[in-house]
Amino acid sequence: MACPICDRKTDPKYRPFCSRRCADIDLGKWLTGSYAIPADDADDIDEADRAQGMDRDRPH
């Protein structure tokens, strides 16, 4: 199995990652919202915007 961040061989201690560094990089992506599930439903998109403090109907 390869590390999803750098493609090196995984270390059982940090599985599925190869190191603490790659595990921390992945955690950072989750915490900053870099990973997202695409939504096709307009209600889902509006709800996500409101959760982030954005309002599409309000002028910027």
Residue 59 falls inside a structural domain: no
- The answer to whether residue 12 sits within a structural domain is yes
Q: What is the pLDDT of residue 43?
A: 67
Residues 6+ apart with CB under 8 A from 58: none
pTM of the predicted model as reported, rounded to 2 decimal places: 0.59
Q: Can you give the pLDDT at residue 35?
A: 86
Q: Give pLDDT tens digits for 6-59.
A: 999 999 999 999 999 999 999 999 999 888 877 666 666 677 777 777 655 555
Structural domain count, the chain? 1
Residue 60 lies in a domain: no
The reported pLDDT for the residue numbered 19 is 97
Q: Is residue 29 part of a domain?
A: yes
Rounded to whole angstroms, how far apart are CA atoms 36 and 17? 20
Q: What CATH number should be reported for the domain holding residue 29?
A: 3.30.50.10
Residue 34 belongs to a domain: yes
Q: Domain containing 7: what range?
A: 1-54
Q: How many Å apart are CA 23 and CA 15, to the nearest integer?
A: 9
